[in-house]
Structure 1
Protein backbone atom coordinates (compact mmCIF):
# COMPACT_ATOMS: atom_id res chain seq x y z
CA UNK A 1 0.00 0.00 0.00
CA UNK A 2 1.12 3.56 -0.71
CA UNK A 3 4.85 3.58 -1.46
CA UNK A 4 7.90 1.30 -1.49
CA UNK A 5 8.94 -0.72 1.53
CA UNK A 6 12.67 -0.43 0.80
CA UNK A 7 14.45 2.77 1.80
CA UNK A 8 16.46 4.81 -0.66
CA UNK A 9 19.65 3.72 1.11
CA UNK A 10 18.68 0.05 0.81
CA UNK A 11 17.93 0.43 -2.90
CA UNK A 12 21.31 2.06 -3.49
CA UNK A 13 23.08 -0.73 -1.65
CA UNK A 14 21.13 -3.31 -3.65
CA UNK A 15 22.14 -1.68 -6.94
CA UNK A 16 25.79 -1.64 -5.92
CA UNK A 17 25.64 -5.29 -4.89
CA UNK A 18 24.01 -6.38 -8.13
CA UNK A 19 26.59 -4.51 -10.19
CA UNK A 20 29.41 -6.05 -8.17
CA UNK A 21 27.99 -9.51 -8.88
CA UNK A 22 28.63 -9.15 -12.61
CA UNK A 23 24.99 -9.64 -13.53
CA UNK A 24 23.55 -7.70 -16.43
CA UNK A 25 20.77 -5.46 -15.07
CA UNK A 26 17.69 -4.62 -17.17
CA UNK A 27 16.12 -1.18 -16.61
CA UNK A 28 13.09 -0.32 -18.75
CA UNK A 29 12.12 3.34 -18.77
CA UNK A 30 9.15 4.29 -16.60
CA UNK A 31 7.03 7.13 -17.98
CA UNK A 32 5.05 7.49 -14.75
CA UNK A 33 4.86 5.90 -11.27
CA UNK A 34 2.28 3.32 -12.36
CA UNK A 35 4.52 2.03 -15.14
CA UNK A 36 7.38 1.77 -12.61
CA UNK A 37 5.21 -0.49 -10.49
CA UNK A 38 4.46 -2.61 -13.55
CA UNK A 39 8.19 -2.89 -14.33
CA UNK A 40 8.74 -4.23 -10.82
CA UNK A 41 5.78 -6.61 -11.11
CA UNK A 42 7.26 -8.06 -14.31
CA UNK A 43 10.53 -8.93 -12.61
CA UNK A 44 12.99 -6.39 -14.00
CA UNK A 45 16.08 -5.25 -12.13
CA UNK A 46 15.56 -1.52 -11.96
CA UNK A 47 13.71 1.49 -13.33
CA UNK A 48 15.15 4.09 -15.66
CA UNK A 49 13.88 7.69 -15.67
CA UNK A 50 14.60 9.27 -19.03
CA UNK A 51 15.07 12.97 -19.67
CA UNK A 52 13.60 12.48 -23.13
CA UNK A 53 10.48 10.88 -21.65
CA UNK A 54 10.08 13.63 -19.07
CA UNK A 55 10.40 16.26 -21.80
CA UNK A 56 7.86 14.46 -23.99
CA UNK A 57 5.50 14.07 -21.05
CA UNK A 58 5.57 17.86 -20.70
CA UNK A 59 4.98 18.29 -24.44
CA UNK A 60 8.54 19.52 -25.03
CA UNK A 61 11.41 18.32 -27.25
CA UNK A 62 14.50 16.86 -25.61
CA UNK A 63 16.73 19.91 -26.04
CA UNK A 64 17.49 20.90 -22.45
CA UNK A 65 14.24 22.73 -21.68
CA UNK A 66 13.32 20.85 -18.50
CA UNK A 67 14.37 22.15 -15.10
CA UNK A 68 15.98 20.54 -12.07
CA UNK A 69 12.74 20.98 -10.16
CA UNK A 70 10.73 19.14 -12.81
CA UNK A 71 13.20 16.27 -13.02
CA UNK A 72 13.61 15.92 -9.25
CA UNK A 73 9.85 16.00 -8.70
CA UNK A 74 9.14 13.32 -11.27
CA UNK A 75 12.07 11.20 -10.12
CA UNK A 76 10.78 11.34 -6.56
CA UNK A 77 7.28 10.33 -7.64
CA UNK A 78 8.62 7.33 -9.55
CA UNK A 79 11.37 6.22 -7.14
CA UNK A 80 9.09 6.15 -4.10
CA UNK A 81 6.58 3.88 -5.87
CA UNK A 82 8.86 0.89 -6.35
CA UNK A 83 11.29 -1.21 -4.37
CA UNK A 84 13.52 -1.32 -7.45
CA UNK A 85 16.51 1.04 -7.71
CA UNK A 86 15.88 4.01 -10.00
CA UNK A 87 18.50 5.50 -12.33
CA UNK A 88 17.74 9.02 -13.55
CA UNK A 89 18.98 11.12 -16.44
CA UNK A 90 20.02 14.60 -15.25
CA UNK A 91 21.31 15.84 -18.62
CA UNK A 92 24.34 18.10 -18.13
CA UNK A 93 23.60 18.72 -14.44
CA UNK A 94 21.60 21.91 -15.08
CA UNK A 95 24.49 24.33 -15.12
CA UNK A 96 28.05 24.80 -13.94
CA UNK A 97 29.83 22.51 -11.41
CA UNK A 98 28.09 24.13 -8.42
CA UNK A 99 24.73 23.52 -10.13
CA UNK A 100 25.79 19.92 -10.70
CA UNK A 101 26.48 19.59 -6.97
CA UNK A 102 23.01 20.89 -6.13
CA UNK A 103 21.48 18.57 -8.74
CA UNK A 104 23.12 15.56 -7.10
CA UNK A 105 21.84 16.45 -3.66
CA UNK A 106 18.32 17.19 -4.92
CA UNK A 107 18.16 13.82 -6.66
CA UNK A 108 19.68 12.10 -3.65
CA UNK A 109 16.85 13.57 -1.57
CA UNK A 110 14.39 12.39 -4.23
CA UNK A 111 15.36 8.81 -3.43
CA UNK A 112 17.03 7.66 -6.63
CA UNK A 113 19.75 5.00 -6.55
CA UNK A 114 21.84 6.53 -9.29
CA UNK A 115 22.09 9.30 -11.86
CA UNK A 116 24.07 10.07 -14.97
CA UNK A 117 25.61 13.35 -16.10
CA UNK A 118 26.67 13.90 -19.69
CA UNK A 119 29.43 15.81 -21.43
CA UNK A 120 27.35 17.67 -23.99
CA UNK A 121 27.40 21.43 -24.31
CA UNK A 122 24.55 23.00 -22.33
CA UNK A 123 21.78 23.16 -23.52
CA UNK A 124 22.01 19.57 -24.74
CA UNK A 125 20.05 17.67 -27.35
CA UNK A 126 18.85 14.10 -27.71
CA UNK A 127 21.83 11.75 -27.84
CA UNK A 128 20.70 10.20 -31.13
CA UNK A 129 20.31 13.46 -33.04
CA UNK A 130 22.97 14.86 -35.35
CA UNK A 131 24.76 18.09 -34.57
CA UNK A 132 25.68 17.36 -30.96
CA UNK A 133 28.52 19.25 -29.33
CA UNK A 134 30.56 18.08 -26.35
CA UNK A 135 32.54 20.05 -23.82
CA UNK A 136 36.29 19.74 -23.45
CA UNK A 137 37.74 17.06 -21.21
CA UNK A 138 38.52 19.44 -18.34
CA UNK A 139 34.91 20.65 -18.17
CA UNK A 140 33.58 17.09 -18.34
CA UNK A 141 35.88 16.06 -15.50
CA UNK A 142 34.78 19.01 -13.37
CA UNK A 143 31.15 17.95 -13.67
CA UNK A 144 31.95 14.47 -12.41
CA UNK A 145 34.23 15.78 -9.65
CA UNK A 146 31.44 18.07 -8.48
CA UNK A 147 28.89 15.25 -8.52
CA UNK A 148 31.07 12.84 -6.57
CA UNK A 149 32.06 15.48 -4.02
CA UNK A 150 28.44 16.56 -3.49
CA UNK A 151 26.86 13.19 -2.74
CA UNK A 152 26.30 12.46 0.93
CA UNK A 153 25.48 8.79 0.52
CA UNK A 154 28.57 7.06 -0.88
CA UNK A 155 26.32 4.36 -2.34
CA UNK A 156 24.63 6.81 -4.70
CA UNK A 157 25.82 5.71 -8.15
CA UNK A 158 27.36 8.59 -10.11
CA UNK A 159 27.48 7.58 -13.77
CA UNK A 160 29.17 9.62 -16.49
CA UNK A 161 27.61 9.69 -19.93
CA UNK A 162 29.74 10.64 -22.89
CA UNK A 163 28.35 11.65 -26.28
CA UNK A 164 31.71 12.08 -27.93
CA UNK A 165 31.48 8.91 -30.05
CA UNK A 166 29.16 10.60 -32.56
CA UNK A 167 31.33 13.72 -32.63
CA UNK A 168 34.90 12.42 -32.77
CA UNK A 169 34.77 8.62 -33.12
CA UNK A 170 35.37 5.58 -30.96
CA UNK A 171 39.01 6.27 -29.94
CA UNK A 172 37.90 9.63 -28.54
CA UNK A 173 35.06 7.88 -26.67
CA UNK A 174 37.51 5.43 -25.10
CA UNK A 175 39.82 8.26 -24.04
CA UNK A 176 36.93 10.30 -22.63
CA UNK A 177 35.59 7.29 -20.71
CA UNK A 178 39.01 6.72 -19.12
CA UNK A 179 39.20 10.38 -18.12
CA UNK A 180 35.74 10.30 -16.55
CA UNK A 181 36.55 7.18 -14.57
CA UNK A 182 39.71 8.91 -13.39
CA UNK A 183 37.54 11.85 -12.32
CA UNK A 184 35.54 9.53 -10.06
CA UNK A 185 32.70 8.13 -12.17
CA UNK A 186 31.32 4.85 -10.80
CA UNK A 187 30.05 3.75 -14.22
CA UNK A 188 30.11 4.88 -17.85
CA UNK A 189 27.23 5.41 -20.29
CA UNK A 190 28.74 5.59 -23.81
CA UNK A 191 25.94 7.06 -25.90
CA UNK A 192 25.24 6.00 -29.49
CA UNK A 193 27.77 3.21 -29.92
CA UNK A 194 26.90 1.44 -33.14
CA UNK A 195 28.29 -2.11 -32.92
CA UNK A 196 28.98 -4.85 -30.39
CA UNK A 197 32.65 -4.49 -31.29
CA UNK A 198 32.56 -0.92 -30.00
CA UNK A 199 31.07 -2.06 -26.70
CA UNK A 200 33.81 -4.70 -26.48
CA UNK A 201 36.48 -2.07 -27.04
CA UNK A 202 35.11 0.12 -24.29
CA UNK A 203 34.80 -2.88 -21.95
CA UNK A 204 38.49 -3.67 -22.43
CA UNK A 205 39.49 -0.06 -21.78
CA UNK A 206 37.83 0.54 -18.39
CA UNK A 207 37.10 -1.49 -15.26
CA UNK A 208 33.81 0.08 -14.12
CA UNK A 209 30.29 -0.96 -15.19
CA UNK A 210 29.10 0.20 -18.61
CA UNK A 211 25.57 0.87 -19.80
CA UNK A 212 23.99 0.23 -23.19
CA UNK A 213 21.13 2.38 -24.44
CA UNK A 214 18.77 0.33 -26.59
CA UNK A 215 16.51 3.15 -27.72
CA UNK A 216 14.44 2.53 -30.83
CA UNK A 217 14.89 4.55 -34.03
CA UNK A 218 18.33 5.72 -32.95
CA UNK A 219 21.91 5.21 -34.10
CA UNK A 220 22.53 1.97 -32.20
CA UNK A 221 21.40 -1.42 -33.42
CA UNK A 222 18.88 -3.01 -31.06
CA UNK A 223 20.99 -5.76 -29.54
CA UNK A 224 19.50 -8.45 -27.30
CA UNK A 225 20.24 -8.79 -23.61
CA UNK A 226 22.26 -11.93 -24.32
CA UNK A 227 24.36 -10.19 -26.97
CA UNK A 228 25.15 -7.31 -24.62
CA UNK A 229 25.94 -9.65 -21.73
CA UNK A 230 28.38 -11.53 -23.94
CA UNK A 231 30.44 -8.38 -24.61
CA UNK A 232 30.56 -7.35 -20.96
CA UNK A 233 27.79 -4.77 -20.70
CA UNK A 234 26.48 -4.40 -17.12
CA UNK A 235 23.29 -2.38 -17.53
CA UNK A 236 20.86 -1.99 -20.40
CA UNK A 237 18.08 0.59 -20.66
CA UNK A 238 15.09 0.91 -22.96
CA UNK A 239 14.41 4.55 -22.08
CA UNK A 240 11.45 5.51 -24.25
CA UNK A 241 10.02 2.10 -25.19
CA UNK A 242 7.04 1.99 -22.82
CA UNK A 243 6.05 5.55 -23.71
CA UNK A 244 6.26 4.71 -27.41
CA UNK A 245 4.16 1.59 -26.92
CA UNK A 246 1.57 3.49 -24.89
CA UNK A 247 1.39 6.41 -27.32
CA UNK A 248 1.19 4.05 -30.29
CA UNK A 249 -1.75 2.30 -28.66
CA UNK A 250 -3.34 5.69 -27.89
CA UNK A 251 -3.02 6.76 -31.54
CA UNK A 252 -4.68 3.57 -32.73
CA UNK A 253 -7.39 3.87 -30.11
CA UNK A 254 -8.26 7.44 -31.05
CA UNK A 255 -8.32 6.47 -34.73
CA UNK A 256 -10.70 3.63 -33.88
CA UNK A 257 -12.92 6.01 -31.92
CA UNK A 258 -12.97 8.46 -34.82
CA UNK A 259 -13.77 5.81 -37.42
CA UNK A 260 -16.21 3.60 -35.51
CA UNK A 261 -17.49 5.76 -32.67
CA UNK A 262 -16.71 3.13 -30.03
CA UNK A 263 -13.72 1.22 -28.64
CA UNK A 264 -15.36 -2.20 -28.34
CA UNK A 265 -12.85 -3.76 -30.75
CA UNK A 266 -9.95 -2.47 -28.63
CA UNK A 267 -11.08 -4.01 -25.34
CA UNK A 268 -8.71 -7.03 -25.70
CA UNK A 269 -5.79 -4.60 -25.97
CA UNK A 270 -6.66 -2.75 -22.74
CA UNK A 271 -5.54 -3.40 -19.19
CA UNK A 272 -8.82 -4.38 -17.56
CA UNK A 273 -10.17 -3.01 -14.31
CA UNK A 274 -9.13 -6.05 -12.27
CA UNK A 275 -5.54 -5.85 -13.51
CA UNK A 276 -5.34 -2.13 -12.76
CA UNK A 277 -6.82 -2.50 -9.30
CA UNK A 278 -4.42 -5.34 -8.51
CA UNK A 279 -1.44 -3.23 -9.61
CA UNK A 280 -2.69 -0.34 -7.48
CA UNK A 281 -3.23 -2.69 -4.49
CA UNK A 282 -6.84 -1.69 -3.91
CA UNK A 283 -7.18 -4.62 -1.51
CA UNK A 284 -4.46 -3.21 0.71
CA UNK A 285 -6.25 0.13 0.91
CA UNK A 286 -9.57 -1.55 1.62
CA UNK A 287 -7.98 -3.47 4.49
CA UNK A 288 -6.44 -0.28 5.87
CA UNK A 289 -9.74 1.61 5.64
CA UNK A 290 -11.62 -1.20 7.35
CA UNK A 291 -9.17 -1.31 10.22
CA UNK A 292 -9.43 2.43 10.74
CA UNK A 293 -13.20 2.42 10.48
CA UNK A 294 -13.54 -0.47 12.92
CA UNK A 295 -11.06 0.88 15.44
CA UNK A 296 -12.45 0.91 18.97
CA UNK A 297 -11.13 2.89 21.94
CA UNK A 298 -11.25 0.81 25.09
CA UNK A 299 -11.60 2.38 28.48
Structure 2
Protein backbone atom coordinates (compact mmCIF):
# COMPACT_ATOMS: atom_id res chain seq x y z
CA UNK A 1 0.00 0.00 0.00
CA UNK A 2 1.25 3.49 -0.82
CA UNK A 3 2.17 5.60 2.18
CA UNK A 4 -0.24 8.28 0.98
CA UNK A 5 -3.12 5.82 1.21
CA UNK A 6 -1.85 4.58 4.57
CA UNK A 7 -1.92 8.11 5.93
CA UNK A 8 -5.45 8.79 4.71
CA UNK A 9 -6.64 5.61 6.38
CA UNK A 10 -4.96 6.66 9.64
CA UNK A 11 -6.67 10.04 9.48
CA UNK A 12 -10.07 8.49 8.77
CA UNK A 13 -10.13 5.59 11.21
CA UNK A 14 -11.96 7.52 13.94
CA UNK A 15 -10.18 6.07 16.97
CA UNK A 16 -8.73 9.27 18.36
CA UNK A 17 -6.14 11.69 16.98
CA UNK A 18 -3.07 10.37 15.21
CA UNK A 19 -0.07 11.03 17.46
CA UNK A 20 2.53 12.42 15.06
CA UNK A 21 6.12 12.73 16.34
CA UNK A 22 8.54 14.90 14.43
CA UNK A 23 11.93 13.84 13.15
CA UNK A 24 14.70 16.01 11.70
CA UNK A 25 16.64 13.18 10.05
CA UNK A 26 16.59 9.55 8.94
CA UNK A 27 17.97 8.12 12.19
CA UNK A 28 15.24 9.81 14.23
CA UNK A 29 12.63 8.51 11.79
CA UNK A 30 13.93 5.00 12.48
CA UNK A 31 13.60 5.60 16.23
CA UNK A 32 10.03 6.86 15.75
CA UNK A 33 9.13 3.72 13.80
CA UNK A 34 10.88 1.49 16.32
CA UNK A 35 8.84 3.12 19.11
CA UNK A 36 5.63 1.97 17.44
CA UNK A 37 4.27 5.22 15.98
CA UNK A 38 2.37 5.13 12.71
CA UNK A 39 3.63 8.22 10.87
CA UNK A 40 6.48 10.74 11.02
CA UNK A 41 6.44 14.52 10.75
CA UNK A 42 9.42 16.02 8.92
CA UNK A 43 9.85 19.21 10.91
CA UNK A 44 11.24 22.17 9.00
CA UNK A 45 12.37 23.67 12.28
CA UNK A 46 13.98 20.39 13.27
CA UNK A 47 15.87 20.10 9.98
CA UNK A 48 17.06 23.71 10.25
CA UNK A 49 18.11 23.20 13.88
CA UNK A 50 19.95 19.90 13.39
CA UNK A 51 21.39 20.15 9.89
CA UNK A 52 22.24 23.86 9.89
CA UNK A 53 22.24 24.79 13.61
CA UNK A 54 19.94 27.66 12.64
CA UNK A 55 16.62 28.87 14.07
CA UNK A 56 13.27 28.38 12.35
CA UNK A 57 13.32 31.62 10.35
CA UNK A 58 12.79 30.41 6.79
CA UNK A 59 16.48 29.79 6.14
CA UNK A 60 16.08 26.17 4.98
CA UNK A 61 15.99 25.69 1.19
CA UNK A 62 13.82 23.32 -0.84
CA UNK A 63 16.75 21.16 -2.06
CA UNK A 64 18.01 20.79 1.52
CA UNK A 65 14.55 19.73 2.70
CA UNK A 66 14.01 17.36 -0.23
CA UNK A 67 17.33 15.66 0.46
CA UNK A 68 16.30 14.99 4.05
CA UNK A 69 12.90 13.69 2.95
CA UNK A 70 14.50 11.29 0.46
CA UNK A 71 16.88 9.93 3.11
CA UNK A 72 14.04 9.51 5.60
CA UNK A 73 11.83 7.82 3.02
CA UNK A 74 14.59 5.27 2.44
CA UNK A 75 14.99 4.71 6.18
CA UNK A 76 11.38 4.16 7.26
CA UNK A 77 8.22 2.51 5.94
CA UNK A 78 6.03 5.06 7.74
CA UNK A 79 4.17 7.88 5.96
CA UNK A 80 6.04 11.18 6.03
CA UNK A 81 4.15 14.42 6.69
CA UNK A 82 6.50 17.11 5.38
CA UNK A 83 6.59 20.68 6.66
CA UNK A 84 7.22 22.77 3.54
CA UNK A 85 6.97 26.15 5.29
CA UNK A 86 5.47 28.72 2.87
CA UNK A 87 6.00 26.48 -0.16
CA UNK A 88 9.25 28.26 -1.05
CA UNK A 89 7.63 31.04 -3.07
CA UNK A 90 4.42 31.84 -4.91
CA UNK A 91 1.78 29.42 -6.21
CA UNK A 92 3.96 28.27 -9.10
CA UNK A 93 6.80 27.59 -6.67
CA UNK A 94 4.38 25.61 -4.52
CA UNK A 95 3.59 23.39 -7.50
CA UNK A 96 7.29 22.64 -7.96
CA UNK A 97 7.69 22.09 -4.20
CA UNK A 98 4.89 19.53 -4.17
CA UNK A 99 6.28 17.66 -7.16
CA UNK A 100 9.80 17.56 -5.72
CA UNK A 101 8.73 16.46 -2.24
CA UNK A 102 6.29 13.90 -3.63
CA UNK A 103 9.12 12.35 -5.65
CA UNK A 104 11.28 12.37 -2.52
CA UNK A 105 8.71 10.29 -0.65
CA UNK A 106 6.28 12.65 1.08
CA UNK A 107 2.84 11.28 1.96
CA UNK A 108 1.60 14.74 2.99
CA UNK A 109 2.84 18.26 2.40
CA UNK A 110 2.12 21.16 4.73
CA UNK A 111 2.16 24.78 3.58
CA UNK A 112 1.41 27.90 5.59
CA UNK A 113 0.19 31.45 5.02
CA UNK A 114 3.08 33.39 6.53
CA UNK A 115 4.88 35.99 4.48
CA UNK A 116 8.50 35.20 3.66
CA UNK A 117 10.75 34.96 5.50
CA UNK A 118 8.56 32.88 7.81
CA UNK A 119 9.07 32.35 11.52
CA UNK A 120 8.32 29.57 13.96
CA UNK A 121 4.60 29.65 14.70
CA UNK A 122 5.31 30.35 18.39
CA UNK A 123 7.63 33.31 17.71
CA UNK A 124 6.39 36.91 17.80
CA UNK A 125 6.39 39.31 14.87
CA UNK A 126 4.77 37.04 12.26
CA UNK A 127 3.23 38.41 9.07
CA UNK A 128 0.73 36.68 6.78
CA UNK A 129 -0.16 36.83 3.10
CA UNK A 130 -3.69 37.49 1.88
CA UNK A 131 -6.32 34.78 1.99
CA UNK A 132 -6.47 34.89 -1.81
CA UNK A 133 -2.74 34.30 -2.18
CA UNK A 134 -2.83 31.35 0.19
CA UNK A 135 -5.88 29.72 -1.40
CA UNK A 136 -4.08 30.01 -4.73
CA UNK A 137 -1.14 28.14 -3.23
CA UNK A 138 -3.46 25.42 -1.94
CA UNK A 139 -5.09 25.00 -5.35
CA UNK A 140 -1.63 24.82 -6.93
CA UNK A 141 -0.60 22.12 -4.44
CA UNK A 142 -3.72 20.07 -5.15
CA UNK A 143 -3.24 20.38 -8.91
CA UNK A 144 0.48 19.53 -8.76
CA UNK A 145 0.21 16.23 -6.89
CA UNK A 146 0.56 13.13 -9.06
CA UNK A 147 -0.95 10.81 -6.45
CA UNK A 148 -4.49 11.91 -5.60
CA UNK A 149 -4.02 10.42 -2.12
CA UNK A 150 -1.18 12.83 -1.29
CA UNK A 151 -2.48 14.83 1.67
CA UNK A 152 -2.37 18.63 1.56
CA UNK A 153 -2.14 20.24 5.01
CA UNK A 154 -2.91 23.97 5.14
CA UNK A 155 -1.70 25.99 8.11
CA UNK A 156 -2.69 29.50 9.08
CA UNK A 157 -0.83 31.79 11.45
CA UNK A 158 -3.60 34.38 11.33
CA UNK A 159 -4.62 33.90 14.96
CA UNK A 160 -1.62 35.81 16.28
CA UNK A 161 -2.01 38.53 13.64
CA UNK A 162 -5.76 39.01 13.21
CA UNK A 163 -7.40 36.98 15.96
CA UNK A 164 -9.32 33.74 16.34
CA UNK A 165 -12.25 34.78 14.15
CA UNK A 166 -10.04 35.57 11.17
CA UNK A 167 -8.10 32.35 11.70
CA UNK A 168 -11.29 30.30 11.56
CA UNK A 169 -12.44 32.13 8.43
CA UNK A 170 -9.12 31.37 6.76
CA UNK A 171 -9.23 27.71 7.73
CA UNK A 172 -12.69 27.41 6.19
CA UNK A 173 -11.43 29.08 2.99
CA UNK A 174 -8.49 26.69 2.88
CA UNK A 175 -10.82 23.70 3.12
CA UNK A 176 -12.92 25.13 0.28
CA UNK A 177 -9.73 25.48 -1.81
CA UNK A 178 -9.02 21.76 -1.42
CA UNK A 179 -6.92 21.33 1.73
CA UNK A 180 -7.34 17.87 3.26
CA UNK A 181 -6.21 18.83 6.78
CA UNK A 182 -6.42 22.19 8.55
CA UNK A 183 -3.86 23.58 10.97
CA UNK A 184 -4.63 26.74 12.94
CA UNK A 185 -1.33 27.51 14.62
CA UNK A 186 -0.79 28.71 18.19
CA UNK A 187 -4.19 28.99 19.91
CA UNK A 188 -3.45 30.14 23.43
CA UNK A 189 -6.34 28.61 25.38
CA UNK A 190 -8.36 25.42 25.44
CA UNK A 191 -11.41 27.52 24.59
CA UNK A 192 -9.76 28.76 21.39
CA UNK A 193 -8.80 25.20 20.50
CA UNK A 194 -12.40 24.07 20.95
CA UNK A 195 -13.76 26.99 18.90
CA UNK A 196 -11.54 26.18 15.93
CA UNK A 197 -12.89 22.65 15.58
CA UNK A 198 -16.45 23.68 16.39
CA UNK A 199 -16.61 26.45 13.79
CA UNK A 200 -14.63 24.87 10.97
CA UNK A 201 -15.62 21.34 9.84
CA UNK A 202 -12.79 19.05 8.77
CA UNK A 203 -9.66 17.34 10.05
CA UNK A 204 -7.59 19.52 12.37
CA UNK A 205 -4.00 19.48 13.69
CA UNK A 206 -3.21 20.39 17.31
CA UNK A 207 0.44 21.44 17.59
CA UNK A 208 1.71 20.45 21.03
CA UNK A 209 4.81 22.60 21.59
CA UNK A 210 6.34 22.12 25.01
CA UNK A 211 6.97 25.64 26.34
CA UNK A 212 5.04 27.21 23.44
CA UNK A 213 1.84 29.24 23.34
CA UNK A 214 -0.69 26.39 23.13
CA UNK A 215 -1.79 24.30 26.13
CA UNK A 216 -0.37 20.77 25.91
CA UNK A 217 -3.37 18.46 26.20
CA UNK A 218 -3.57 14.68 26.38
CA UNK A 219 -4.60 12.56 23.41
CA UNK A 220 -7.93 11.90 25.13
CA UNK A 221 -8.55 15.62 25.66
CA UNK A 222 -7.73 16.38 22.02
CA UNK A 223 -10.07 13.58 20.96
CA UNK A 224 -12.85 15.12 23.02
CA UNK A 225 -12.27 18.45 21.27
CA UNK A 226 -12.39 16.76 17.86
CA UNK A 227 -8.79 16.97 16.66
CA UNK A 228 -7.50 14.48 14.09
CA UNK A 229 -3.75 14.93 14.69
CA UNK A 230 -1.69 15.52 17.84
CA UNK A 231 1.59 16.91 16.53
CA UNK A 232 4.79 16.73 18.59
CA UNK A 233 7.08 18.30 16.02
CA UNK A 234 10.37 18.57 17.92
CA UNK A 235 9.92 16.48 21.06
CA UNK A 236 12.37 13.78 19.92
CA UNK A 237 15.00 16.30 18.85
CA UNK A 238 14.83 18.16 22.14
CA UNK A 239 15.10 14.92 24.07
CA UNK A 240 18.09 13.90 21.97
CA UNK A 241 19.90 17.18 22.67
CA UNK A 242 19.40 16.66 26.39
CA UNK A 243 20.80 13.13 26.04
CA UNK A 244 23.86 14.41 24.16
CA UNK A 245 24.50 17.07 26.77
CA UNK A 246 24.19 14.56 29.60
CA UNK A 247 26.65 12.04 28.21
CA UNK A 248 29.12 14.74 27.12
CA UNK A 249 29.00 16.35 30.55
CA UNK A 250 29.85 12.93 32.00
CA UNK A 251 32.80 12.60 29.60
CA UNK A 252 34.05 16.11 30.40
CA UNK A 253 33.74 15.52 34.14
CA UNK A 254 35.27 12.03 34.30
CA UNK A 255 37.54 11.95 31.27
CA UNK A 256 36.11 8.63 30.05
CA UNK A 257 32.79 6.82 29.46
CA UNK A 258 33.42 3.66 31.49
CA UNK A 259 30.49 4.41 33.80
CA UNK A 260 28.27 6.00 31.17
CA UNK A 261 26.69 2.90 29.63
CA UNK A 262 23.32 3.83 31.07
CA UNK A 263 23.42 7.16 29.26
CA UNK A 264 23.71 5.61 25.78
CA UNK A 265 22.06 2.90 23.72
CA UNK A 266 24.21 -0.21 23.52
CA UNK A 267 26.50 -1.06 20.62
CA UNK A 268 24.10 -3.84 19.62
CA UNK A 269 21.06 -1.52 19.75
CA UNK A 270 22.86 1.01 17.59
CA UNK A 271 23.67 -1.56 14.90
CA UNK A 272 20.13 -2.92 14.98
CA UNK A 273 18.68 0.58 14.60
CA UNK A 274 20.67 1.22 11.41
CA UNK A 275 19.81 -2.29 10.11
CA UNK A 276 23.33 -3.68 10.01
CA UNK A 277 22.09 -7.32 10.19
CA UNK A 278 20.11 -6.69 6.99
CA UNK A 279 23.20 -5.36 5.22
CA UNK A 280 25.27 -8.28 6.50
CA UNK A 281 22.83 -10.61 4.72
CA UNK A 282 23.15 -8.56 1.53
CA UNK A 283 26.94 -8.60 1.83
CA UNK A 284 26.92 -12.41 1.89
CA UNK A 285 24.31 -12.63 -0.86
CA UNK A 286 26.31 -10.50 -3.29
CA UNK A 287 29.82 -11.54 -2.24
CA UNK A 288 32.08 -12.67 -5.09
CA UNK A 289 32.45 -16.38 -5.64
CA UNK A 290 36.12 -16.99 -4.83
CA UNK A 291 36.01 -20.23 -6.77
CA UNK A 292 35.16 -18.49 -10.02
CA UNK A 293 38.10 -17.61 -12.21
CA UNK A 294 38.24 -13.93 -13.07
CA UNK A 295 37.88 -12.99 -16.70
CA UNK A 296 41.13 -12.30 -18.43
CA UNK A 297 41.83 -8.64 -18.95
1:42-100 CA-to-partner distances (Å, cap 9, x unmatched) read 11120001111111121112111111101111111112211110001101000111111
Alignment check: 8 A CA contact 1:119 1:161 kept: yes
Q: Is the aligned partner of 1:97 residue 2:97?
A: no
Indicate whether 1:70 and 2:64 are aligned.
yes
Is residue 247–residue 263 contact of structure 2 (8 Å, CA) maintained in 1?
no
State how 1:209-288 maps to structure 2 within 5 Å. 209-288=203-282
Q: Which residue of the partner structure matches residue 201 of structure 1?
A: 195
Of residues 287, 292, 299, the one that matches 2:286 is: 292
Displacement of 1:296: 9.2
The aligned residue for residue 3 of structure 1 is none
Give the Cα–Cα distance (whole angstroms) in 2 for the partners of residues 13 and 275 of structure 1.
Answer: 31
Q: Following the alignment from structure 1 to structure 2, what is the Cα–Cα distance between the partners of residues 263 and 167? A: 50
Instruction: Work out whether 1:20 is the aligned partner of 2:34.
Output: no
- Partner of 1:243, secondary structure, is helix
TM-score normalised by length of structure 1:
0.92
What CA RMSD, in Å, does the superposition of the two structures yield over aligned residues? 1.7
What residue is the counterpart of 2:25 in the other structure? 32
The residue aligned with 1:173 is 167
Match of 1:137 among 131, 142, 145: 131
Total equivalences in the alignment: 290
Write the distance in 2 (CA, Å) between the matches of 1:297 and 1:207: 68
- Tell me, in whole angstroms, the C-alpha distance in 2 between the residues paired with 1:235 and 1:45: 12
Gaps of 5+ in 2: 293-297
Q: Calculate the TM-score normalised by the size of structure 2.
A: 0.93
TM-fit CA distance, 1:11: 0.6
For structure 1, list consecutive stretches of 5 or more residues without a partner in the other structure. 1-8
Match of 1:54 in 2: 47
Q: Distance in 1 between matches of 2:74 and 2:19?
A: 19
